[in-house]
Amino acid sequence: MTWCYDSVYLGFPLADPIVGLVITIAILGIVWESGKTIFTRLIDGVDPAITDEIRHATDHVRGVKAITDVKVRWLGHRLHAEINMMVDSDLSVEKGHAIAKEYRHELLHHLKYLSDATIHVDPATESGADYHEVSKHSYEGLPPHSH
């Protein structure tokens, strides 16, 4: 005798439909969560905790004054980060590069899902988006524009 007939025999004729409904709700919940994750990745969405982890990694690297910009995106099943890092203005290019290299090394070791990081080093006196903007200009007969 099957479970279905047993539940009807024992006086619970709605047991099977109720169990089926509970299983259906559980499956829909799993599909909903998976769908949200997949859709977020499709539009290059990244969990804000990841950018927080990237910023936190500076606590383990000497010479980093601040992280002024972090852009993270999915490339397949791995993440790629583009980071602007501020260092002391009086450092040599070689020393700034060494700090960026150490920071990248720290990121790749501690964030296993990160496949690569491109790090731009700014001196403290010229750090941030305002210093990277190219003011309005004309170029080869094009209308005036900025970058």
List the structure tokens of 121.
């080093």
Check whether residue 9 and residue 63 sit in a common domain.
no
Tell me what the mean pLDDT of segment 87-102 comes to.
94
> Is the pTM of the predicted complex or chain greater than 0.75?
no
Q: Using alpha carbons, select from 108, 104, 121 the residue that is nearest to residue 61.
A: 104
pLDDT value of position 1:
47
What CATH number should be reported for the domain holding residue 76? 3.30.70.1350
Domain that holds residue 75: 48-126
Check whether residue 57 and residue 119 sit in a common domain.
yes
pLDDT in tens, 28-85: 999 998 888 777 767 777 788 888 999 988 888 999 999 999 999 888 778 899 999 9
- Total domains in the chain come to 2
Strand-pair partners of 122: 86
Residues 6+ apart with CB under 8 A from 4: 16
Torsion region of 23: left, alpha or beta (phi above 0 gives left; psi -120 to 50 gives alpha): alpha
Check whether residue 62 and residue 100 sit in a common domain.
yes
Residues 6+ apart with CB under 8 A from 50: 72, 79, 111
Check whether residue 113 and residue 62 sit in a common domain.
yes
Q: Residue written as tokens 């383990």?
A: 60
Check whether residue 28 and residue 76 sit in a common domain.
no
Check whether residue 26 and residue 52 sit in a common domain.
no
Pairing relationship of beta strands 114-123 and 78-87 according to DSSP bridges: parallel
**Has residue 146 been placed in a domain?**
no
pLDDT value of position 46:
78
Check whether residue 52 and residue 111 sit in a common domain.
yes
**Has residue 65 been placed in a domain?**
yes
